Amino acid sequence: MNRFLKGLAVSGAGVLLLVALLLSTGLASSALEDKNSRRVKVDELFNRNCARCHGADGRGDTPSGQLFKAPDFTNAEWWKKNSSPTSNQALRTVIARGKGAMPAFGKKLTKSEIKLLSDRVRKFRN
């Protein structure tokens, strides 16, 4: 009987390990899906609200971008010259309140969407 209980405990531990492994794989997969869906959401937000002027590539080389002198977010010199106005908070403020010819998005987008967009703009810097 004692041997039977030990065998049951060992097989139970194996089953628990297997279940834990499957759950962790599912959670990792779920986290990856969340990251991908977030990327898709921010790309969609940028394309819907910003790309008309700034271009999908962030260069500002669109008819509207040229008309309104949209900055080239891929230009390292622009980032150096605008280091203060491009801090995280400053970018969020520009997105929310607008600047020059750029419209304000504070009433159209949520704070989390504005944060996603500022993070997206900063990625052009790399």
* All domains in the chain, ordered by first residue: 33-123 (1.10.760.10)
User: Per the structure block, which two tokens stand in for 122?
Assistant: 């900063």
Placement of tokens 């039977």 in the chain: 4
Give the H or E element holding residue 65.
helix 63-68
What is residue 18's predicted lDDT score, i.e. its pLDDT? 46
pLDDT tens figures, 8-56: 455 555 554 544 544 555 544 455 456 667 677 899 999 999 999 999 9
Compute the distance between CA of residue 112 and CA of residue 59 in angstroms, rounded to an integer.
Answer: 24
pLDDT tens figures, 54-84: 999 999 999 999 999 999 999 999 999 887 7
What is residue 41's predicted lDDT score, i.e. its pLDDT? 87
